[in-house]
Structure 1
Amino acid sequence: MQRVHLLLSFVILALASSFASASDPDPVQDFCVAINDIKTGLFVNGKFCKDPKLANAGDFFFSGLDKPGNTSNPVGSKVTPVAVTEIPGLNTLGISLARIDFAPYGLNPPHTHPRATEILVVVEGTLEVGFVSSNQDNNRLFTKILNKGDVFVFPVGMIHFQLNKAHYNALAFAGLSSQNPGVITIANAVFGSNPRINPDVLTKAFQVGKDVIDYLEKQFWYDNN
């Protein structure tokens, strides 16, 4: 009986170890440069890949992150992504980058990245940043004031934001753990969906009158990405 219990313990431990280590598989080739040609490409991880023999240095290159983004918009910020769309060679590599420019008191509104953790470094200026944990954790706010050279991490899927606290411009760079992290800006998604969400849903969810919801749905929700 003792041997049976011991054997079961090993089986359970093996299964637990298997589940705990489950993740995306490692690449089985050097690279998989994304293309749009479905006739000559091989579909891998959401993109078609060109013949590796036809890959070149340009597939792994992007130029322009030295140029400030246009922050003359209602939220006062501009995100310049460098993901698989900008660098086809990022396909299957699970990483991307973004430049975020802020006008004085500009905001990168509350949003989520459904497929990526984000690590942000402030290059110029002062930012107030934060993320909110899930309902399971009582929606706790984790917030910090960041100065030049400071770094902050936003866990995958958490709603987060960045606000320029000063009367001068700010600049940050973000690394993301996905070739295509995606972005869901909360206000845009809730009040600017296409077609519109039934106002009865929103009045009950936000516990406000229909006139408030009507007003919010009529606003222009700017996309800074």
Structure 2
Amino acid sequence: MASAAAIFTSRVLVIACVLVCELVGAAVGSDADPLQDYCVTDSSSNVVLNGFTCKSSASPADFSSSLFNSPGSTANALGVAVTLAGASNFGGLNTQGLSIARIDYAAGGLVPPHVHPRASEVLLVLQGTISAAFVDGSNKLYSQTLQPFDLFVFPRGLIHYSVNLGTGPALSISGFNSQNPGLSLIANALFASNDTIPDFILEKAFHLNPVEVELIKASFRG
């Protein structure tokens, strides 16, 4: 039988998901408006819409998901796990202009600087103390320390990050006003792209010498 703590956490997650979806859904969506009530993703269908195939007949189960029931593994270099619910793994979200993510942090866990080119993001803290920040087009940093049930907005397309400031685990939920917000990790894009940016450009842009550039690139190669 589930413990009282597990039941409480599950209920909090459900409430958080509803709140974030309501907040994001109230904003002007970045995706095209659907022309029908829904289009549940179905890989076996021949009806294609928004890049996904649609079920000819949907059921109540298509509009629910258990993706966030278990924490993600934070046993990695960043100490963070992001579980994204989108149209590809939660069919009921297709054409709704929404996606949502569970973010688990180990102590000191970091979601590194990145951008979402197609969506704004609303972050809701559920556990722990999290610092969230973004940099605007004038290079001004907006940073805030958040406690459980605090919210923070990352405007669309701006570089942002979040980090667990506590000594224990932390948990947050993020909502996006796109079913495909996109993700570009800044450091990976610059130093670990498939066709790497020429070293002399990285040296000049970041005031690095050739040895330093190679050391950074080597760190991404593991």
Query: What TM-score range do you get, normalising by the shorter chain?
Result: 0.7 to 0.9
- The TM-score, its normalising length taken from structure 1, stands at 0.80
Counterparts of residues 1-225 of structure 1 (less than 5 Å): 24-37=31-44, 40-51=45-56, 54-134=57-137, 138-220=138-220
RMSD: 2.0
Decide whether the 8 Å contact of 1:97 with 1:176 is kept in 2.
yes
Structure 1 gap segments, 5+ residues each:
1-20
Structure 2 gap segments, 5+ residues each:
1-27
Q: Distance in 1 between matches of 2:164 and 2:29?
A: 39
Which amino acid is the alignment partner of residue 208 of structure 2?
V
Q: Deviations over 1:94-113 (max 9, x none)?
A: 01111001101111111111
Identical residues among aligned pairs (%): 43
Decide whether the 8 Å contact of 1:129 with 1:163 is kept in 2.
yes
Q: Deviations over 1:17-62 (max 9, x none)?
A: xxxx99754322111122335xx423322223333xx222333232
1:206 Cα deviation after fit: 1.2
Decide whether the 8 Å contact of 2:191 with 2:220 is kept in 1.
no
Which amino acid is the alignment partner of residue 212 of structure 1?
E
Structure number with greater Rg is 1
Tell me: CA distance 1:110–1:221, structure 2 relative to 1, closer, same or farther (3 Å): farther
Q: Distance in 2 between matches of 1:213 and 1:70?
A: 30
Which amino acid is the alignment partner of residue 60 of structure 2?
A
> Which range moved further: 197-206 or 40-49?
40-49
Q: Deviations over 1:172-208 (max 9, x none)?
A: 1111111111111111111111122221221122121
Structure 1 segments of 4 or more deviating over 6 A? none
Which amino acid is the alignment partner of residue 47 of structure 1?
F
SS in 1 for 2:202: helix
SS in 2 for 1:58: helix
1:121 Cα deviation after fit: 0.8
Q: Deviations over 1:84-137 (max 9, x none)?
A: 111122111101111001101111111111111110111010011100112xxx
Tell me: CA distance 1:111–1:23, structure 2 relative to 1, closer, same or farther (3 Å): closer
- The TM-score, its normalising length taken from structure 2, stands at 0.81
